[in-house]
């Protein structure tokens, strides 16, 4: 198999929820298809293995791939690939355990300060969705606190010697805390809150006390957690397969106990029904089918269909999430406002009409370079 064909085989995904999935999807799926996986691995030559590993690294699914190949007979997997994946997953496990210790310290400090907190994704996903520290890497800790408690949470982090790099972002060594007062980061992109007004007090009101990293934290209801995972996936433009895996594994683990009617009502109440639909539909790239009855109904235009075909083929175009979110806005004015805020956040615009006008060409060039770089990284991965 030549380099072009291996890239196609690795990247190929479902064109519908019932379509075939590619090699990356087979290595990451929560629904094992070992016979098909063995067939596809047999077509990968030793010269193509580094390319395969690069793609798995790009999508951050080496841990999931390691678990998949560990089920297969030794003869079915190249020894170099098996060994490389094992080392990667071991590094994931070590990093996760180290980060969990730091998170526990932070959660205990917030508890002493009487600050209610929800851990979004990160260690929470590792524990609740995957159950194995070797499977899912992450870069930071997303902590959600009520808006009124932001000052107290900030003070607690500063007492722990965290440095505040920007609003809501705190770092201490290799530990990065992203402190949220809303789940969508609307402080940085105000149009998100205007279009998708998630009721933060209601989230906290429904949450229950539990443990994350062995420390006290509030645990969101399953419907709220899935909703935020799906919206987060769209927000990040389906950029990494591991984010799709988060939704797919959650659905597989909770499908029987989820109240889909409640999920749909909550999505509708904050205007994210379409985002939820797209997030659930994307799990087809991992061979996970979500019944149409369990997905919010909604009409789709040509742009949405085109974008989702690319997502299911694991080839999303740059800024897919911004474009889809824009189409979900109910009015033309809302769409234009969201698009402008997404492409040029208010906090990054200079003061004054002339300065804004002068800076606009540079901003366009910056976005074009970003899109080009994103495309290059995807091709290499």
Residue with token string 């997997």: 77
Identify the band that residue 104 occupies on the pLDDT scale cut at 50, 70 and 90: very high
Chain segment 200-241, per-residue pLDDT in tens: 999 999 999 999 999 999 999 999 999 999 999 999 999 999
Taking residues 169-177, what's their average pLDDT?
96
Q: Which residues contact 256 (CB under 8 A, 6 or more apart)?
A: none
Distance (Å) of CA 244 to CA 48, 84, 154: 25, 23, 31
pTM: 0.84
- Among the ranges given (107-111, 197-201, 301-305, 365-369), the one the predictor scored with the smallest mean pLDDT: 365-369
Chain segment 361-378, per-residue pLDDT in tens: 555 555 456 555 555 555
- Among the ranges given (42-56, 110-124, 281-295), the one the predictor scored with the smallest mean pLDDT: 281-295
Query: Does residue 321 carry a pLDDT above 80?
Result: yes
Per cent of the chain over pLDDT 90 is 65
Per cent of the chain over pLDDT 70 is 77
Higher pLDDT, 24 or 332: 24
Between CA 329 and CA 327 the distance in angstroms is: 5
Identify the band that residue 18 occupies on the pLDDT scale cut at 50, 70 and 90: very low
pLDDT at 197: 85
Query: Does residue 3 carry a pLDDT above 50?
Result: no
- Among the ranges given (107-111, 149-153, 318-322), the one the predictor scored with the smallest mean pLDDT: 318-322
Query: 319: closest CA among 268, 373, 380, 272?
Result: 373
Query: Does residue 15 carry a pLDDT above 90?
Result: no
Burial 277-310 (b: 16+ CB within 10 A, else e): bbbbbbbbbbbbbbeeeebbeeeeeeebeebbee
Instruction: Quote the mean pLDDT of the chain.
Output: 84
Bridge partners of residue 166, in order along the sequence: 169
On whether the CB atoms of residues 338 and 326 are closer than 8 A, the answer is yes
Query: 118: closest CA among 187, 44, 183?
Result: 183
Higher pLDDT, 318 or 260: 260
Query: Does residue 322 carry a pLDDT above 90?
Result: no
């Amino acid at each position: 198999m030549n380099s072009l064909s291996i890239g196609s085989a690795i990247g190929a995904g479902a064109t519908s929820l019932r379509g075939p999935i590619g090699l990356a999807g087979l290595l990451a799926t929560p629904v094992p298809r070992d016979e098909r996986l063995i067939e596809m691995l047999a077509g990968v030559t030793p010269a193509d293995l580094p390319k395969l590993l690069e793609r798995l690294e790009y999508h951050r699914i080496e841990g999931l791939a390691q678990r998949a190949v560990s089920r297969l007979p030794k003869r079915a997997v190249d020894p170099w690939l098996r060994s490389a994946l094992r080392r990667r997953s071991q590094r994931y496990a070590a990093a996760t355990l180290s980060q969990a210790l730091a998170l526990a310290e932070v959660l205990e400090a917030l508890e002493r300060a009487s600050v209610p907190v929800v851990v979004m994704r990160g260690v929470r996903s590792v524990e609740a969705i995957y159950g194995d520290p070797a499977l899912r890497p992450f870069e930071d800790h997303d902590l959600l606190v009520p808006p009124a408690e932001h000052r107290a949470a900030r003070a607690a982090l500063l007492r722990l010697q965290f440095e505040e790099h920007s609003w809501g972002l705190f770092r201490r060594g290799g530990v990065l805390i992203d402190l949220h007062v809303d789940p969508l980061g609307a402080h940085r992109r105000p149009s998100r809150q205007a279009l998708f007004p998630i009721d933060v007090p209601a989230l906290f009101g429904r949450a229950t006390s539990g443990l994350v990293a062995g420390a006290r934290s509030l645990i969101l209801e399953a419907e709220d957690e899935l909703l935020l995972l799906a919206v987060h996936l769209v927000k990040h433009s389906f950029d990494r397969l591991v984010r799709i895996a988060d939704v797919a594994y959650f659905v597989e683990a909770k499908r029987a106990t989820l109240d889909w009617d409640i999920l749909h009502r909550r999505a509708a109440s904050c205007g994210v029904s379409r985002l939820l639909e797209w997030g659930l539909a994307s799990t087809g790239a991992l061979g996970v089918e979500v019944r149409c009855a369990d997905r919010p109904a909604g009409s789709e235009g040509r742009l949405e269909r085109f974008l989702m075909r690319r997502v299911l083929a694991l080839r999303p175009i740059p800024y897919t999430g911004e474009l889809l979110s824009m189409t979900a806005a109910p009015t033309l004015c809302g769409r234009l406002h969201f698009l402008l805020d997404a492409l040029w956040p208010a906090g990054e615009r200079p003061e004054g009409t002339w300065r804004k006008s002068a800076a606009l060409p540079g901003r366009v060039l910056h976005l074009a370079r970003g899109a080009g770089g994103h495309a290059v990284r995807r091709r290499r991965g």
